[in-house]
Structure 1
Amino acid sequence: MVEPAEVPGSAEPADVSSAGGDAAAEVAAGDAYERGGVDGLSPPDRLEFVQKAFILDDDRLLMVRKSAADPRHPTLWEVPGGRMTLGEDADTHVRREVWEETGVAVSPGRPFYLWEWTMSDPQGAPGRVQLVAVARECEAQSTELSTDHQVPGDHLDEARWVPLSAVDSYDLIPDLKPVLEQFLRSRSGV
């Protein structure tokens, strides 16, 4: 089980980084939420939790590519992960997501980044969804890739071990870029 980490801006030291983590931005975001949501629109109708797994094998990062049918990010690359199922614990969740999307077994590791966004319901239901995401370092227990367990709604068409030196040349989902930068900084000790 992962040790709980306090969110930046709280009274306790944080183990995770947050996009826009300075206190003034957090207060402004809180004010914006009271005015009608973090993006100035109506408040979300529900909250979902997302985890993204950063998994290395030597100097290669495990990545997945969205299919052309993906409604939000067609053909862009990201790391494995997704939404938690109600009643699922965090470690089981990240193991399941990585297994379904890539066929790789992992040992869940520490969280290192926290971010959120609001969007329309991806299943087409009325209303909006607020998603809170955590990026975690995970350790590969296997490295052979398989797409045999993928869920059709994930809209994935490829899993690949990408050399860290080549990750910047991939077309990434925009929200992943700052998370990847933090991951790479943490590896270089900066």
Structure 2
Amino acid sequence: MVAMTLLRRDGRAENELRPFASEQGALFRADGSARMSHGGSTVVAAVYGPGQARNWRAEKADMATLDVCFKLEKGISIAINAVSLALMDAGVPMASVVTATSCSIAMDGNLYLDPTSAEEEKAVSWVISARSCSNDGVLTCITNGLLSEEQYFACSEACQRASESVAVFFRIVHQKKYPVEPTDH
């Protein structure tokens, strides 16, 4: 028996990510910024600060917080990826870089990785997973709609594989901005 691969409206297979594009330093006055695109969806994120601490001796870098203003329900994974790139651009120390991916379940039960807005609208449920690049752990998992345990774990596994691709993309972006020069011995 041959497995069939369903093609979506944009020509991708159900387990295929949309093409990535990004630009760090996209905003002039921000300390760090990034424009992140997945296919036709684009998010711009900016980092202002960290500001100068009033009492630098009392500063606890490992206790820093991040305030985020967010006003959309769709595209959360793209926004998380844009924020990660903006934090990297600002040089904010992070214990790990965070990547995020999403997966939806259509009415026919098919699983679609990295759904478009139209696919999310038609989905009966979806899963967004944000992961740590350093320890391969799930930082957060957002679900919407009813899904079986089997569907949840299938989405989680698909998101994990996709997060590895996003992490590779982040490494390439970072290496282009900060190339490592070979040392002469």
Instruction: Tell me the TM-score range normalised by the shorter chain.
Output: under 0.3
Query: Which is strand-richer, 1 or 2?
Result: 1
TM-score (ref. length: structure 1): 0.25
For CA contacts below 8 A with separation 6 or more, give which structure has more relative contact order.
1
TM, length-normalised to structure 2:
0.26
> In terms of Rg, which structure is larger?
2
